[in-house]
Amino acid sequence: MTEFALPRNAFKAKLAARKDPVLGLWLMLGADASTELLADAGFDYVLVDGEHSPLDIDLMRRQIAAAERGASSVVVRPPVNEAWILKQLADAGAQSFIIPMVDTAEQAEAAVQACLYPPQGIRGAAGVVRAARYGRIPGYLTKANAEICVVPQVETLTAVENIEAICAVEGVDAIFIGPSDLSASMGFTGRPGAPEVDEVIRSSIARIHACGKPACTLGFDEATVAKYLGMGADMVAVGSDVTLLLRGAAELLAKHR
Ligand SMILES: O=C(O)C(=O)C[C@H](O)[C@@H](O)CO
């Protein structure tokens, strides 16, 4: 039988190195062709977003497969932090996970466990799944844990209070701050750039760094990306397929009208 090596998780490695900023593009359209095209654009990672896109597990699997053809690492965000979907995504081939709405260390631990095989976790041990190239990666079940990357999203004031506890969970690789939900949780819905929110993000990044973890966030315009990089963010998502189309279309029309 043909054999393959377990794919190395370049995203996890670059995040852990904390040298150059890790730059990503989020995929929210669920369109295989544009995902293929964008996964080759040179971003460090592309994220298949299951939280705010109408993607069921099979569409997410197709998105992962389309993105894997590109040079960027593939990260997924499930719609919810629940074991059943994390296990299915891991079996579908996802190695890196950004987990929405993690408020406590217990929730972070549950997410990590769902992504890892025993003894560290509770992922079901089936060596014939897509992630194991249907059995063509020898020793997949004993090697897979080492390449899994779990990044909980801190995006409420409760989660901010618990940053140190969440960072301390074994298997948490980094923390992602969600400016939009955080601002809503602070009473500034629709104003992620409010000075009060900026201050919480700035101090959260410092606290995450004090715990020895990389801090991640997103900003879909140049000034916001520069602001978060200036605050020391190690990874910033700098746009999405939606923002590229939206702005590209508006600019094109304005040029020719
Ligand atoms: O709270 C946030 O910010 C996020 O979680 C990112 C959002 O889902 C959104 O901004 C992505 O378009």
CA distance 1 to 126: 18
The radius of gyration computed from the CA coordinates of the chain, to the nearest angstrom, equals 18
Q: State the chain's mean pLDDT as an integer.
A: 97
Percent of the chain with pLDDT over 70: 100
Phi and psi of 250, rounded to 5°? -65, -40
> What's the token pair of residue 31?
């369109």
Hey, whose CA ends up nearest to atom 6 of ligand 1? 178
Are residues 109 and 169 in contact, defined by beta-carbon separation less than 8 angstroms? yes
Pocket test for ligand 1, best of 180, 182, 243 (most atoms within 8 A of CB): 180
pLDDT at 136: 98
Q: Which is it for the CA torsion 74, 79, 85, 87, positive or negative?
A: positive
| CATH number of this structure's domain 10-256 | 3.20.20.60
Mean pLDDT of 121-143: 97
| Separation of alpha carbons 177 and 151, rounded Å | 10
Kindly provide the ipTM of the predicted complex, given to two decimals: 0.96
Report, as residue numbers or ranges, the catalytic residues.
52
Rounded Cα distance between 89 and 98, Å, is: 12
pTM confidence score: 0.97
In ligand 1, which atom is closest to the CA atom of 181?
1
Q: Is 251 exposed, middle or buried (0-12, 13-18, 19+ CB in 10 A)?
A: exposed
pLDDT tens for residues 104-119?
999 999 999 999 999 9
Question: Residues with Cβ within 6 A of ligand 1?
Answer: 51-52, 153, 155, 178-181, 218
